Each structure stands twice: as C-alpha cells, then as structure tokens.
C-alpha cells in the first residue's frame, strides 16, 4: 500500500496548493498547477510536506518557469504588443502567427456577366415552342397542328395547290413556316386555332366508352356507307365538344383529335382520344409493353382446355403472340355470367383477342376493353359518353407497375374501380 498512499498524498498536496493560490489575481490554471507541483515535489523526486516553508521548496518554486516570480518578471514581455513583435500567434509563445489566406489572383480575362433576356424564366415547353418558331417547321406539320387535317391529308392539300403562305401558293410539304409569324391560308381562308389555341393548358386527353358500330378512323370507309348511316366514326361523338370550342374561340379551328390505337367496329369499351401524338405513340406501340385488358363473353361456358389453349397463344398476322393472362371470370364479384374470359395482351395487333379465341374454339359473342395500362374504365360512364382525364389519370396509363398490381388497382376505388 506504500505506492498508493504516496500517490494520494501527492494529489492532496496539489489540491491544497491550488486552493491556496485561488486568490492570486491573474494567475492562470497552468500557473497554479505548476506552482502546486513545485511546492509538493522536491527536486530530488521526494515528497514535500504540505504547506512547508523549507528553502528547497522555495528554491524549486523560484526555479519553475511558471512560478509567480517568473510570471511577474515576464509580465512586461508578454503584453499583446510584445507578443506581436515576437511573432507568437497561438497558445505557445513560439507559435506562428495566424494570418488569413491570401486571395488568389484572377487568371485570364474578366468573365462577362450573364444578362437576363427572358429565356431564363421559360419552362421547357415554352423553350421548345420558341425554338420551333425560330427554326420553323414543315408546312404539312403546321397544318396538322392547326387542326386542318392529318399530315397525310395536309400533304394532299399542298400538292393540290390549295395552301398559301403569306399570299403565295406553296406546293412543297417540307416548306418551313412559323405559325406565329407567317399567315397560312387554305382555299383563300386564313387558318387559326388548333394546338396553338391551347396555350399553357397543354394537350387534351379523353376517355370514351365506345359503343358498337363506330369506326376508329378520321374518315368513313366510303360515301355510300356514310349515306346509309353505317360505319359511324367515334370522333362524331365529340361534336358537342367542338361546338363548345367554336363558341369559346370564335373564328378558330378546334384542335384535331385522334384515337390512341383502334377497336374494331363490333368491340366496345374503353377508348382513349387525345391531341398528343407522342403520348399516343408511347401507349399504342408494342415496345412500351402497356397491357390492355379485354372481357370476352362467349356463347357457351368455356372449358379449362379452351382457356389453356388461349393462354398458349397463336399466330396473328404472321407472328406468334402470347397473352399475358387468360382467366375464367366464373364467380366474379360483380355476379355476372360465368361464360366470360379475362384476357390481357400487350401486342395490340388487329383483332388479336378474337383470333386467340377462335384458335381455342371459343365463339365470341361480345368483346369489351376495360383497361389500358394502369387506368380502368369507370363503371358509371355511360355508353357513348366521354370524360376528360386528369393529369394523374394520364400518368396511370403509362404506369406498368400499377397495371400489373391488382391490389393497387382495387385500392384506387371511385372512378378507377373495377368494372367486372
């Protein structure tokens, strides 16, 4: 226990000496600790008595560089002015002075400040429109954007010499024009409106409940069939919308509408109609892998072998296609007839579902499309009526994750509920 007792005695001596020096004005903590150590430890390493006034203790205190005497002697040399002359800038007397970093000199010419010209505040759509006006676009494309006709029909009008630009007849569809600077006329009548009239509203997107007996085309099959009130067009169902547009924008043509994909004349159900050509291409092209759901109503109750045969696929237009899903709707929640089959396809080929059914020996009585991508046709939408899609519903169409997740589709509810 001898070493432990010696250590405790040293600690007690240091604490007592520090308390005794607490009243020394201006003495730092390091000075008090050094003086306490000098009073309690002899130069030979022995322990001094606490509070002793022996000569060795006093000599040790005088020799210690941080003793009060040494502090008083060096007061004149430790003033701020003296420290600045000596160069001490840190905690230690011989440390280097701290100076702020020097600013680097500029290399090369002075940079030119960017001036505000208005383009900085434009959104991407406005920038694209401005670039298109500056560079110009094909005359046939401009006519289609103005709502005159499709690009192919616009080219026929140009070749026929019926289109004038700034009073001059133009017969080349590739002629560059600007709808904001040039005056375009067809048969002497100035053309205005179309997509240019939409402005910041962007494109239009509709969902139509297609009835039976309507063609997904911009023109009828023939004048005779049109006269017999056959092969009516699905775009005729938007005539009330066109009338409202003309009243709201007098003297301007309404934007040209076209269908996203096609349904044959005897197929009913969900049909998308829009003015956005790029969005239409993404939805309709097979490379996007957007599933479409159909309900096949058979004349008789389908067997398991027939459903399995349909799931294996068949050849359509010279290519073997396989549906994503083929299921019987027997015992569906809507309580409908049991002789119905749910078919999901992504190819979108002409009469694909009907060919699949015929290959399995299923006699199709009715065919209805109920879903495109992640968007389902609302059950409360009457036949022959349409609704304007909201931005989030437009995004549902291209959402393949929502399209393949039945639980998410059920959770949406409301206008997105199932129609089975």
Residue-by-residue DSSP string for 308-351: HHHHH-EEETTEEE--SEEEE-TT-TT---SSEEEEEESS--TT
Least confident of 9-18, 243-252, 351-360: 9-18
Q: What is the pLDDT of residues 130-184, one digit of tens each?
A: 666 666 788 888 888 777 888 888 899 999 998 988 888 989 888 888 776 778 8
351-365 per-residue burial string, b: 16 or more CB within 10 A, e: under 16:
bbbbebbebbebebe
List active site positions.
Answer: 264
pLDDT at 120 over 60: no
pLDDT at 402 over 70: no
pLDDT at residue 369 in the model: 94
Q: How far apart are CA 280 and CA 338, in angstroms?
A: 35
Residue in the structure block whose two tokens are 């003015």: 275
pLDDT at 277 over 90: no
User: Smallest Cα–Cα separation from 356: which of 346, 54, 244?
Assistant: 346
pLDDT at 72 over 90: no
Q: What is the pLDDT of residues 222-238, one digit of tens each?
A: 544 444 445 689 999 99
pLDDT at 400 over 80: no
pLDDT at residue 267 in the model: 93
Banded pLDDT at 106 (limits 50, 70, 90): confident
> If DSSP states are collapsed to H, E and C, what string results for the chain?
CHHHHHHHHHHHHHHHHHHHCCCCCCCCHHHHHHHHHHHHECCCCCECCCCCCCHHHHHHHHHCCCCHHHHHHCCCCCCHHHHHHHCCCCCCCCCCCCCCCCCCCCCCCCCCCCCCCCHHHCCHHHHHHHHHHHHCEEHHHHHHHCCCCCHHHHHHHHHCCCEEECCEECCCCCCEECCCCCCEEECCEECCEHHHHCHHHCCCEEEEEECCCEECCCCCCCHHHHHCCCCEEHHHHHHHHHHHHHHHCCCCECCCCEECCCCCCCCEEEEEEECCHHHHHHHHCHHHCCCEEEEEEECCCCCHHHHHHHHHCEEECCEEECCCEEEECCCCCCCCCCCEEEEEECCCCCCHHHHHHHHCCCCEEEEEEEEECCEECCCCCCCCCEEECCHHHHHHHCCHHHHCCHHHHHHHCHHHCCCC
Averaged pLDDT of the chain? 74
Mean pLDDT for the stretch of residues 64-70: 48
Q: How far apart are CA 348 and CA 416, in angstroms?
A: 22
Least confident of 74-83, 138-147, 240-249, 294-303: 74-83
Higher pLDDT, 193 or 362: 362
Token code pair at residue 36? 């306490």
Higher pLDDT, 301 or 288: 301
Q: What is the pLDDT of residues 372-391, one digit of tens each?
A: 988 999 989 999 999 999 98
pLDDT at 22 over 70: no
Task: Please tell me the pTM assigned to this model.
Answer: 0.59
Q: What is the pLDDT of residues 299-311, one digit of tens each?
A: 889 999 999 999 9
Q: What is the pLDDT of residues 202-214, one digit of tens each?
A: 788 999 999 999 9
Banded pLDDT at 420 (limits 50, 70, 90): very low
Banded pLDDT at 218 (limits 50, 70, 90): confident
């Amino acid at each position: 226990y001898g070493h432990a007792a010696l250590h405790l005695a040293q600690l007690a001596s240091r604490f007592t000496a520090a308390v005794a020096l607490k009243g020394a004005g201006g003495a730092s903590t390091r000075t008090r600790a050094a003086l306490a150590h000098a009073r309690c430890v002899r130069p030979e390493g022995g322990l001094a008595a606490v509070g002793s006034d022996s000569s060795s203790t006093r000599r040790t205190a005088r020799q210690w560089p941080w003793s009060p005497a040494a502090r008083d002697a060096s007061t004149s040399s430790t003033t701020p002015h003296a420290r600045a002359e000596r160069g001490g800038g840190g905690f230690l007397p011989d440390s280097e002075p701290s100076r702020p970093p020097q600013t680097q000199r500029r290399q090369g010419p002075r940079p030119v400040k960017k001036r505000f010209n208005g383009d900085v505040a434009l959104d991407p759509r406005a920038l694209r429109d401005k670039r298109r006006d500056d560079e110009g676009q094909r005359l046939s494309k401009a006519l289609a954007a103005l709502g005159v006709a499709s690009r192919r029909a616009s080219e026929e009008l140009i070749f026929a010499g019926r289109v004038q630009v700034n009073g001059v007849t133009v017969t080349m569809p590739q002629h560059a024009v600007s709808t904001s600077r040039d005056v375009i006329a067809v048969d002497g009548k100035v053309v205005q409106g179309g997509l240019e009239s939409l402005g910041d509203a962007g494109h239009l997107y509709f969902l139509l409940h297609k009835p039976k007996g309507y063609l997904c085309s911009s023109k009828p099959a023939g004048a005779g069939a049109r006269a017999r009130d056959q092969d009516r067009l699905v775009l005729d169902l938007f005539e009330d919308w066109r009338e409202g547009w003309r009243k709201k924008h007098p003297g301007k043509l309404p934007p040209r509408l076209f269908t996203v994909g096609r349904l044959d004349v005897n197929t009913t159900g969900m049909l998308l109609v829009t003015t956005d050509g790029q969005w239409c291409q993404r939805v309709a092209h097979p490379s996007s892998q957007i599933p479409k759901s159909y309900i096949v109503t058979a004349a008789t109750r389908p067997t398991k072998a027939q459903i399995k045969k349909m799931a294996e696929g068949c050849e359509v237009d010279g290519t073997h296609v396989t549906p994503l899903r083929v299921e019987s709707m027997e015992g569906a929640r809507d309580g409908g007839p049991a002789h119905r089959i749910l078919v999901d396809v992504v190819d979108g080929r002409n009469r694909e579902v009907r060919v699949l059914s015929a290959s399995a020996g299923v006699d199709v009585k009715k065919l209805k499309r109920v879903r495109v991508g992640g968007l389902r046709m609302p059950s409360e939408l009457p036949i022959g009526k349409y609704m304007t899609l909201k931005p989030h519903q437009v995004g549902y169409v291209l959402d393949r994750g929502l399209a393949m997740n039945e639980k998410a589709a059920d959770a949406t509810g409301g206008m997105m509920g199932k129609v089975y």
